[in-house]
Amino acid sequence: MKLRSSGREAEKIEPQMAPMIDVVFQLLIFFMLTLNIVEPEGDFNINMPITNSAEPSDEPDIFPDIKVRLVANEDGTLNTIRLGQVNLGNGPNVFAGLNHEILKIIGKPGNPITKDMEVEIESDYNLHYEYTLKAVSACTGRLDSSGKHIIRYIEKIKFAPPVGGNSAGS
Amino acid sequence: MRIKSKKPAVADIDMTPMIDIVFQLIAFFMVITNFEQIQADERVKLPSDSLAKPPEVKAADELVLNIGFERNDKGEITDPEAYIFYNGEKIPVLQFGPKFEQEARIYKQKNQDPKEVPVILRTDALVKTGLVQDLIKIAQENGFTKFAFKATQKTQ
């Protein structure tokens, strides 16, 4: 048996680079093309048990629902927000105002009573969805100063049947 | 003056730095690519909100519905009626009942209660709220009770 003597002619082995680079470039191009930049998306949970939809809750709640009424203009933009009897008006800061009012009602964030409290959003039929979502967000909580964590106000959000019905629908 | 002409050496390019960089790029694109959002429809322009954080625990099964408008290349709405984009079909929102029924049946076959399956609504910012509520009502009639609204995370 002949053993290869390793020492003598240690010729430098040149690895074949070309195929590897081919494949690597293929991979690179594949990942570049499949890349689609999507903004991260988040959820707002809405609990709508079936029983609630038919009849307005009969059982006496310790805490009455916080009623948020969203009034729309003809074209579906926001006209006014009413919280209970308080008119919060319209404008760029109306959702911040709503957020502030909710905080006043619950006292402080994380208050145990917030577990039992519910926000009922009643909106015009033709109101654009983005305003409803902003209202949901304003009731849910706010970001802390660092902008990383959410300070929760009220978790339970529900919807009252839309105002205006199908007559406003297209 | 001496002219270098001895060995016309084969230009041996050093590949190492290039491969380093290329691998870096590949790793970058691999990490950043997400194949998850195949259920999202391009036509739906979600509203954005700063509180929209990706959920920490993801449900194993969820029913994602894209509600939006037909839009042209510029993103303008071409048809005022809102549709649900569902498996390549375009279904008017209020006629989605049979599909819910079908979905509920599929979940039941998989021994899942539709009650436990969250319905994720990816709704265009300009859809009428009442229409979304009508859709929720139709879903409830078919046994779905958990709902979630999607929004893009607003960058501050």
User: What residues does each domain of chain A span?
Assistant: 65-164
Inter-chain residue contact B130 with A134, CB threshold 8 Å:
no
Q: What is the rounded average pLDDT of the residues A132-152?
A: 80
Strand partners, A159: A121
ipTM exceeding 0.90, yes/no: no
What DSSP line would sit under B47-84, residue for residue?
-EETT----SS--SS-EEEEEE--B-TTS-BS-SS-EE
Question: At A130, which helix (H) or strand (E)?
Answer: helix A129-140
Does B37 fall in a domain? no
Q: pLDDT grade, residue A169 (50/70/90)?
A: very low
CB atoms inside a 10 Å sphere around CB A37 = 5
pLDDT digits (tens, 9 = 90+) for B124-148: 888 888 888 888 888 888 888 888 8
Among candidates A24, A27, A164 on the partner chain, residue whose Cβ is nearest the Cβ of B130: A164
- Cβ atoms of B143 and B102 within 8 Å: the answer is no
Closest CA–CA distance from residue A8 to any residue of chain B (Å): 25
Q: pLDDT grade, residue A167 (50/70/90)?
A: very low
- CATH number, domain of B52, equals 3.30.420
Does B83 fall in a domain? yes
Overall number of domains in chain B:
1
Tokens (6 digits) for B104: 């509920």
Question: What is the pLDDT, as a whole number, of residue A53?
Answer: 45
Q: pLDDT grade, residue B24 (50/70/90)?
A: very high
* Cα B63 from Cα B84, distance rounded (Å): 13
pLDDT digits (tens, 9 = 90+) for B44-59: 888 888 777 777 777 6
pLDDT digits (tens, 9 = 90+) for B84-103: 888 878 888 888 888 888 88
Closest CA–CA distance from residue B75 to any residue of chain A (Å): 17
Question: At A102, which helix (H) or strand (E)?
Answer: helix A94-106
Owning domain of residue B70: 43-153
- Cβ atoms of A154 and A117 within 8 Å: the answer is yes
Report the chain A residue with the minimal C-alpha distance to residue B32: A35
Which of these, A142, A140, A137, A122, lies nearest to A80 by C-alpha position?
A: A122
Does B53 fall in a domain? yes
Question: What is the pLDDT, as a whole number, of residue A170?
Answer: 38
| HSE value, Cβ hemisphere, 13 Å, CA-based, for B35 | 2
Inform me whether the pLDDT recorded for B79 exceeds 70: yes
Among candidates B51, B81, B123 on the partner chain, residue whose Cβ is nearest the Cβ of A140: B51
- Cβ atoms of A146 and A106 within 8 Å: the answer is no
B25-52 burial string, b = 16+ CB within 10 Å, else e?
Answer: bbeebeeeeeeeeeebbebbbbbbbbbb
**Helix (H), strand (E) counts: chain B:** 3, 6
* Cα B4 from Cα A149, distance rounded (Å): 68
List the alpha helices (DSSP H) in B87-126: 97-109
A167 touches chain B (CB under 8 A): no
pTM value > 0.90: no
Find where tokens 């046994």 sit: B143
Inter-chain residue contact B147 with A168, CB threshold 8 Å:
no
Inter-chain residue contact A21 with B128, CB threshold 8 Å:
no
